[in-house]
Amino acid sequence: MNQLLKRIVIVFLFGLLVGLSLNNNSNPEFHLENNPITFVNSLRDGGNQKYPSNFDKNFHKILRKGFPDSKRRVEFEKSKLEFYNSARSKLDRAPTLSMNDKMRLLSPEEHDAINYFTGQGFYRSQQDFRTERNIFDTRESFLIKMHNESNRNRFLKSLKESN
């Protein structure tokens, strides 16, 4: 009798843990703030993204405040932001649908914009800090790449030459 009770308690606790885990991870897009970077971090659960070994939070804050950017990358991000905001509004208006049904509401451009801001699909390899900077970087992935001094110097040199 005692062993049966132990097994029942173990199964109950396991079910409870799985249930709590599913509740915390379901529908991440409904817990978003207006900042796309917050959305990215919430999907990555904050710790899944690998940062370079020379990542310095204070230096990153300085870069975020005033480091220049290329016009082409900024324009690309702005075009994606329009589709991203459209996708978010569609997803917010359909709270009763399952996640698969919600994704069917989105156009291919909106799917692409979500992939861009979450660093998924094609953009995963493009936004990785080990690749060269490119037009497909978000502002955050671009700044992470600028922690490398040689990347930063090459970018500043090319920025001077383009002006």
User: For residues 141-161, b (16+ Cβ closer than 10 Å) or e, as one string?
Assistant: bbbbbbbbeebbeebeeeeee
Q: What is the pLDDT of residue 130?
A: 87
Q: What is the pLDDT of residue 77?
A: 95
Which pLDDT belongs to residue 94? 79
The residue ranges of the chain whose pLDDT is under 70 are 1, 5, 9, 11-50, 53-54, 99-100, 163
Can you say whether the dihedral through the CA atoms of 106, 110, 112, 118 is positive or negative?
negative
pLDDT for 3 equals 74
d(CA 35, CA 37): 5
According to DSSP, residue 31 is labeled G
Name the pTM for this structure: 0.63
The rounded mean pLDDT for the chain is 77
